[in-house]
Structure 1
Amino acid sequence: MKMLLLDFHSTLMAKEKIKISPTHPKKSKLQEGKTLLLVISFIEGGAVMATELFSAKLVAPFFGASLYVWASVLGVTLGALAFGYLTGGYVSKKYKNEKILFWIFLLGGFFMFLMPFSSKWIMSLTFDLSVKLGSTVSLLVFMLPPLFFFAMMSPMIIKALTSQADASGKNAGLVYFISTVGGIVATYLTGFYLLPTFGIKVPAVIYGSAISIISIILLLRKKDFIPMVIAVLMLLIYNADKGQKKRNDKFIIRHESEGVLGQLKVVEHMYPTVFRGWKLGRGLLVNHTCQTLMDVENPGYSLWDYAFFFPNAASIYPKGSDVLLLGLGGGTLVKQYERLQFNLDVVELDERVTKLAIRYFDVNPATRIIVDDARHYLNSTEKKYDIVTLDLFLSETPPSHVLTKESFERIKEILKPGGMIMMNFYGFLSGEIGRASRSVYKTLEAAGYHTRLLANPAEMEMDRNLIFIASEEKLDFSKTDYAEPNLPVITDLEPYFIQTENMDFSDALILTDDLPVLEHLYIKAALEWKYYSNLSYTHNFVKDNLDLFK
C-alpha cells in the first residue's frame, strides 16, 4: 500500500513539474512559432509602406507628381491590399501548411526586389500614354504584385495564431497593431533617411533581398530547396542590370539624389536660345522637369528668356530694397536680384536644393536662405518687404496652398507701401487649359490687388511663362533699368503686358483655403509641361540607357 502511495505521489509530482516547467519543449516551440509570426508581421507591415513610398518616387520622373499620379498610386495600393486580404483569407482556410506563408513572404520580397528593374522596363513603354493611363498601367505591373502578396500574409498569420474562436479578435488586433507599427517605422526610416541617403534602387533591392533571404532560410528548414532557384534568378537579374552598357551622347549628369520631395538631378547639355544661339546649359531637374537652366560659360545668367523679365520689372525699385523670394531653384533670381543690389531673403523647402544651388549654380553661400514652407514663413514672419516673388514650382506643379485668397491677403500685410507681388506661372491663358491662370488672376483681384500679366514673347502659349504682377495701386513700368549680355535692351516693359480688359473671367474661380481646387484647374497645363519635359529628358535618358533612379 505504501509503495502504491509513493508511486501515485511521484506521478503527481512529475505531472506538476511538466505543467509548471518553463522549458517544456512543446510550449517553448509554440512560443517560438508565435514570436516568429509576429516578427514576420512587423516586417510585412514595413514592406507595405516602403513599397508605396518607393513606387511614388519611381513613377515621378516619368509621369510627374500631379494629383493624377498620386490618385493612381493610392488607387492601385488600395486595390492590391483589398484583393490580397481577400485571397489571404481564402488561402488560410484551405491550406494549413506553414510553408505556404513562407512562400508568399518570399514572393512579396522577390517582387519588391524587382521594382527598380521592372518599373524602368514598363515605364519606358508607357510614358507616351496619358498620365492617368500610363501611371496606372505601370503601377499595376511593378507595385501591385509585392503589395498583393504582402497583404495576403495578415489573415494567414491571424489564422496560424488562432486555435480557438474566442481568441480570433485578440490575435487579429495584435497582428494588425504589430504590422502597423512596422509600417510607421518603415515610413519614417525610408522617407527621412534611406531615400535621401541611398536613393531608391539600393534600399528597394536590399529590403526585397532581405525578405527573400529570410523566407528562403525558413523554407530550407522545412526541407524545401526550390526557393534556391529564385535566389539564383535574383542574382542573374541584378548582374544583368549592372552589365548593361550606357551611352551618353547628349547629357553629362553632375549629381543625382532622391528624397521625399522628389528626385534631383544636375545635368549639362546643349540648349538652343533665341538670341544667343546654342549654349551649354546646366539644368536643375526635379523629377526630370527642369527648374533652372544656367549658362555654364556665364554662370551668373539663365538661358531662359522669361527669367530676364523678373529683374527688369523689379528694377523700378531702388537699390537696397527688401525682397522676399519664395522658391530658390538653381538661384537664377537670386543672382539677378543681387545685381540690382537688393536686400534678399530666400525661402526654400528642400534643403538639398540649397546645397546644390551653392555647389553647382554659383549662388553666393552668404545668401540668407531659410529652409521652410513658403506659406508657413508668410504666416510667421513680421518683416516687411518691397517685393515678394513667388517662383514655387515643384517639378511641373505649383503649391496650391500658397496661391489662395487668404495667402495673398497675408502677403499684403507684409508688403511695404507701394510694394508688389511677382509670380511665375504657366503660360496658358485661353481655353480650358488656361482656366488656372484666369482663376489666379481673379483671386488676386479678390484679395484687393491691381493685377497685371507680363509675358515673354512667344508664338505659342506653351512656349512662354506668365508673370503675375500685383500691387495695391497700378505701377509704371515704362522706365525700367536692367540689361543682360547678348539680350535685347528693354527699357519700357509696358508693351509686354497682356491686355486683360476684354478677357472673359466668368468661369474663373476665387481660390480659397476652403476651396483648394487649383490642382484640378492646372492639371492640363501641368501635363502639357510634363509631356514636353519627357521628350527633352526622360525619352533621351531611356534611349541612352542612363540610370533613371539612384
Structure 2
Amino acid sequence: MTVLYEDETGDWGKLVVYETSHFDGEPGRYRVLAFSDGSAQGVMDVDSPERIVFEYPRAILHLMETYLPDYNEVFVIGLGIGTIPARLKDKRVKVAEIDPRVKEVSRRYFGYALSNVEVGDGRSLLERERNLLYDFVVLDAFTEKDTPLHLLSEPFFTLCKDKLNERGGLIMNLFGRGASDNLICAVHTTLRSVFTYTCCFELPQTGAADKRNILLMGARQPIRFREKEMAGFVAFKPEEGYIIQDRNENYRL
C-alpha cells in the first residue's frame, strides 16, 4: 500500500488516499479514499478509471435510468470521489460536500473535473433550491461514524419531497445489517411516512449480522427497476421502526 495523501487537521476527521494492488479480493491497481477507520469511501481502478468498482453506484444509476429515463435535474449530497456525478455529465447536477478536503482530493487524485460542487451542509444547501425542481435527490453522505441523522429525519425527507417534482425520487445509500437493523428500520418507516412509494435493497453478505450497503428509495409514483440489473442488490422489506425527528432545531453540523 502506498499512501498518496493523509490529513488529520480537518473538522471531519482523518482522510487518507492510498494505492493498493488488491481490493475486495481482486488484483489490480486501485486508488482508495478512506476514513481513519479504513472504511473505503470511494475506489478507482487506476488502469480503467471509467469502470465503477463499487456495486451501489451502478445500482443507483440503474434506478435513476429505469424509474425516470428522461431525468435531467439532480441534487447529490456527498461527493466522495465523484463516481455518480461524473457519470451525469449530460445532466444538470449540483453536488453538496461538507468537507472541503474531499472536493480537492476528488479533483487531484481521482480526476473529478466538473465545477458543480459546493462546500457546505447538504440539507442547508438543498433548502435554498427551488421547490418542485429536481428529478432526483441522491444521498450518499457519511462521516466516520455513519450517515448524519439530520439527513435521515422526517423533516429532511419532507424537504426532499418539496424539492422534487411530481415524478421525482429520493435515493439513499446507507450502511447497515439489513431487515432487522434498528436504524435501517427507522429510516424506512420515516421514509414511508413521507413518500407514497418506497423500496429497499441490500447487497447480501455471508453473515446475517455483517454490515452491507443498503439502498432506499422514496417517490410519489410506483418505483420501477429490473433486479437483474441492480448489481447484486436484492429487494427486502425492513421491520417496522420509529419515525426519526430532528434532535433539536439547530440540526446543522
TM-score, shorter chain, exceeding 0.5: yes
Matches within 5 A, 1:108-127: none
Change (3 A) 1:456 1:429: closer
**CA 1:396–1:270: 2 relative to 1, 3 Å:** farther
- In the alignment, structure 1 residue 460 sits paired with structure 2 residue 197: no
Does 2:68 align with 1:321? no
* Matches for 1:100-499 after TM superposition, within 5 Å: 251-257=1-7, 258-273=9-24, 277-288=26-37, 289-316=39-66, 317-318=68-69, 321-338=72-89, 341-364=90-113, 366-382=114-130, 384-431=133-180, 434-461=181-208, 462=210, 464-478=212-226, 490-491=228-229, 493=230, 496-499=233-236
1:497 shift after superposition: 3.9
Within-5 A mapping of 1:525-540: none
The answer for the alignment partner of 1:524 in structure 2 is: none
Contact 1:300 1:362 in 2 (8 A): no
Instruction: Name the amino acid aligned to 2:21.
Output: M
Which of structures 1 and 2 has the larger relative contact order (alpha carbons within 8 angstroms, sep 6+)? 2
Q: CA deviation at 1:319?
A: 5.1
Q: 1:472 to 1:515 in 2, by over 3 A?
A: farther
Normalized per residue, the structure richer in strand is: 2
CA displacement 1:136-186 (0-9 Å, x = unmatched): xxxxxxxxxxxxxxxxxxxxxxxxxxxxxxxxxxxxxxxxxxxxxxxxxxx
Tell me how far apart the structure 1 counterparts of residues 219 and 75 of structure 2 sit (CA, whole Å).
Answer: 15
Report the 3-state secondary structure (helix = DSSP H, G, I; strand = E; otherwise coil) of the residue aligned with 1:397. coil
CA shift in 2, pair 1:475/1:358, >3 Å? same
Query: Any idea what the Cα deviations from partners look like across 1:270-303, whole Å, max 9, x if unmatched?
Result: 23447xx322211112224321111111123332
Stretches of structure 1 that go unaligned for 5 or more consecutive residues are 1-250, 481-489, 517-550
Q: How many residues align?
A: 244
Q: Percent identity over the alignment? A: 24
Query: 3-state DSSP class of the match of 1:267?
Result: strand
- CA-CA distance at 1:418 after TM superposition: 1.0
Query: Which amino acid letter does the alignment assign opposite residue 438 of structure 1?
Result: C
Q: Could you say which residue in structure 2 is the equivalent of 1:504?
A: 239
Q: 1:392 Cα shift?
A: 0.6
Cα distance change on mapping 1:463 and 1:269 into 2, 3 Å = farther
Counterpart secondary structure, 1:417: strand
Higher Cα Rg, which structure:
1
User: Per-residue deviation at 1:515?
Assistant: 7.5
Distance in 2 between residues matched to 1:495 and 1:256, nearest whole Å: 33
User: Are 1:452 and 1:497, in contact at CA under 8 Å, matched by a contact in 2?
Assistant: no
TM (norm. structure 2) is 0.87
- Give the AA of the match of 1:412: K
1:292 is paired with a residue whose SS is strand
In structure 1, the residue corresponding to 2:156 is in which secondary structure?
helix
- Structure 1 residues 394 and 449, CA gap change in structure 2 (3 angstroms): farther
> Which secondary structure does the structure 2 equivalent of 1:469 belong to?
strand
Shift of 1:403: 0.9
Give the aligned CA root-mean-square deviation in angstroms.
2.4
Deviation at 1:335, TM superposition (A): 2.1
TM-score, normalised to structure 1, is 0.42
Gaps of 5+ in 2: none
User: SS at 2:60's partner residue?
Assistant: helix
- Rounded Cα–Cα distance in structure 2 between residues aligned with 1:476 and 1:415: 17
2:78/2:140 contact within 8 Å kept: yes
Q: CA deviation at 1:330?
A: 1.1
Secondary structure at the counterpart of residue 260 of structure 1: coil
Q: Deviations over 1:183-227 (max 9, x none)?
A: xxxxxxxxxxxxxxxxxxxxxxxxxxxxxxxxxxxxxxxxxxxxx
Q: How does 1:22-37 map to 2 (within 5 A)?
A: none
Q: Deviation of residue 320 (structure 1)?
A: 5.7
